[in-house]
Amino acid sequence: MNVNKSEEQFHAINHAEQTLHRMENYLKEKQLCDVLLIAGHLRIPAHRLVLSAVSDYFAAMFTNDVLEAKQEEVRMEGVDPNALNSLVQYAY
């Protein structure tokens, strides 16, 4: 007996771009942020998923059994605050 499975496929030309744009808007509105990065005088809200997707460093930090994986605030010792802020902005 041969059973044909019908699979639905969705396609959007700008799906990735639209998704990143929406995530950037969530960041600007400080919505759904689940981590606060602290470097020097700066407190930078962000989304763990976005940071982990663009950085192996953050992926390791947030997906392994380390203290930072569970903290809402992560102090980034020895990191230039402006460089960290630029990195977060780049991620979005």
Query: 76 near 86, Cβ under 8 Å?
Result: no
pLDDT of residue 10: 82
Architecture of the structural domain at 33-91: 2-Layer Sandwich (3.30)
Q: Is the pTM of this model over 0.85?
A: no
pLDDT at 7 (0 to 100): 83
Alpha helices per DSSP H over 1-92: 15-28, 48-54, 56-63, 81-91
Both tokens of residue 35?
């981590």
Please, which residues have CB within 8 angstroms of residue 47's CB and are 6 or more apart in sequence? 23, 26, 27, 32, 33, 34, 35
Walk along the chain (92 residues) in steps of 10 and give the mean pLDDT of each run: 70 92 97 98 98 97 92 97 98 96
- pLDDT for res 12: 86
